[in-house]
Amino acid sequence: MEKSDVVVIGGSAAGIPAAVGCRRRYPEKKVTLIRKEEQALIPCGIPYIFGTLGGPEKNLIPDAILENNGIELIIDAAGEIDRENKAVLMAGGEKVSYDKLILATGSLPLVLPIPGIDKENVFTVNKDVGYLKNMLDVINQAEDIVVLGGGFIGAEFADECKKNRDNNVTIVEMLPHCLQLAFDDELCIEAEKVLTERGIKILTNERVEAIVGDEKVSKGKLASGQELKADVVIVGVGAVPSTELAKQAGLRIGTSTRAILVDRYQRTTEDPDIFACGDCVAKVSFFSGKPTRIMLASIATGEARIAAANLFETRYLGLGGIGVFSTKLGDLALGAAGLIERQARGDGYNVVIGEATAPNRHPGGMPGAVSTKVKLMFSRDNGVILGGEASGGVCVGELVNVISACVQHRMTAYEVSLFQMGTHPALTASPMVYQLVNAAELAVKEMA
């Protein structure tokens, strides 16, 4: 039986930073990472395999990151955890003992319980290189593609499947708008406009109730009675925590989140020597402390660093999930951090809004200038920022990260209005019209 000080199960957005974080914090410890995949994919990059990247081999996490940090890699499926003897039993028969164990088993694509879901050419977002290669080959030959779900996965898949192809792509979404769980309606409408202009058909307030065909899919039957021709159906309706290994080990699973229960140090509630992080773990909201189902690679990496730091002594405390989202459809970037207006009002906050729009370069005639809008939400009771949204140029990706930092440090509208930024004509908006500051200043005025 092999012996390791720390064993990490899972080799993606949580597993790798957990292993690397352990080596950085405790360089004298032997760290072993176990994963079942020969090659590890970048999860958020999977939709781009089908357009921008052109193949799964361009969306891999290099094993060099493990080698360079002195982390041993075992490629095998972890079949069982023996908590009494502190060992992991592999599917291949090998055993690895541990002093500390980190579970980073991630998530699995949600499979809809509808007739025909198992037909050929019906695909989920499976994190397997061979599966995705086959999926790409089929999509390249398809004339009619139906995407189930208009969230980030569905919208990005639809956008990428349309690139450089003469095909018909349709999104079927149950809610009134695509991306509605992440953005307020005005951003959803912006996104839908871009998708429609790119030739993608969007059916909202609609759902597929059956997938029709012989061995292969040929149609999607909608609840309204309409039928959609389909050579390919992509199921992009979300993911569920991968917790089978934890269940077998007797670790507690949350009833509402269906994920592994941990404390703010990422320790499992049943075993102080087993930690867990990433999509397999139950989250709590930064705002309310209540369970939330946010699944993001950025949260997974943060939890991984907390788990790694706390393995042998208590160092880090988790703050709860803020929720920072971004996407790019066509040339339009969209992002949100913290609560959106719909959520804030639904949670009972008395909200003050500040909005500002300006080119993301100055002057506006600079190459690459794109009109970019920022919307900030503050509590009228104490002026503290609750969240914000942005749309426009690619700078949105970092703008929402700045908003997240403001949320994490509970800055007030007054403090954000005095934010000291660095600007440059070729890189940012003018300091006179910097969207973040102007949106906050307008909120301050509203509160006066």
Which pLDDT belongs to residue 133? 97
pLDDT per position as a tens digit, 214-245:
999 999 999 999 999 999 999 999 999 999 99
**Strand, helix or coil at 399?**
helix
| Structure-token pair, residue 279 | 């999509």
Q: Which letter, b or e, does each residue of 315-330 get, where b requires 16 or more Cβ atoms within 10 Å of its Cβ?
A: ebebebbbbbbbbbbe
* Domain boundaries along the sequence of the chain: 2-108+240-309, 122-237, 324-447
Measure Cα distances from 132 to 43, 135, 137, 170, 382 in Å.
12, 5, 9, 20, 49
Which pLDDT belongs to residue 280? 98
Which pLDDT belongs to residue 314? 87
CATH superfamily of 122-237: FAD/NAD(P)-binding domain (3.50.50.60)
Give the helix, strand, coil percentages of the chain, each rounded to 5. 25, 30, 45
Measure Cα distances from 367 to 104, 254, 419 in Å.
43, 51, 26
Measure Cα distances from 211 to 132, 227, 302, 406 in Å.
21, 10, 39, 46
Q: Are strands 95-97 and 2-3 parallel, antiparallel or unpaired?
A: parallel
Residue scoring higher pLDDT (293 or 434)? 434
Which pLDDT belongs to residue 165? 94
pLDDT per position as a tens digit, 3-39:
999 999 999 999 999 999 999 999 999 999 999 999 9
The mean pLDDT value for 244-266 works out to 96
| Structure-token pair, residue 280 | 């397999």
Report the run of H or E that residue 308 belongs to, with start and end.
helix 297-309
Q: Could you list the beta-strand ranges (E) of 238-316.
A: 239-241, 274-276, 283-284, 291-292
Which residues are CB-neighbours of 131 under 8 A, at least 6 positions away?
123
Supply the pTM of this predicted model: 0.94
The dihedral built from the CA positions of residue 365, 368, 371 and 374, taken in this order, carries a sign that is negative
Per-residue pLDDT band at 265 (split at 50, 70, 90): very high
Q: Which listed CATH number (3.50.50.60, 3.30.56.10, 3.40.50.1370, 3.40.50.620) goes with 2-108+240-309?
A: 3.50.50.60
Which pLDDT belongs to residue 1? 78
pLDDT surpasses 90 at 448: no
pLDDT per position as a tens digit, 132-159:
999 999 999 999 999 999 999 999 999 9
pLDDT per position as a tens digit, 199-216:
999 999 999 999 999 999
Per-residue pLDDT band at 60 (split at 50, 70, 90): very high
Q: Which residue has the tokens 């993606």?
A: 12
pLDDT per position as a tens digit, 88-120:
999 999 999 999 999 999 999 999 999 999 999
Which pLDDT belongs to residue 33? 98
Nearest CA-CA partner of 69 in 8, 99, 7, 24: 24
Tell me the percentage of the chain whose pLDDT exceeds 90: 98
Quickly list DSSP for 184-237.
Answer: -HHHHHHHHHHHHHTTEEEE-S--EEEEEESSBEEEEEETTS-EEE-SEEEE-S
Q: Name the β-bridge partners of 124.
A: 235
In angstroms, rounded to a whole number, what is the distance separating the alpha carbons of residues 350 and 387?
13
Does CATH place domain 324-447 in 3.90.1170.30?
Answer: no
In this chain, the answer to whether the domains covering 2-108+240-309 and 324-447 adopt an identical fold is yes
**Strand, helix or coil at 397?**
helix
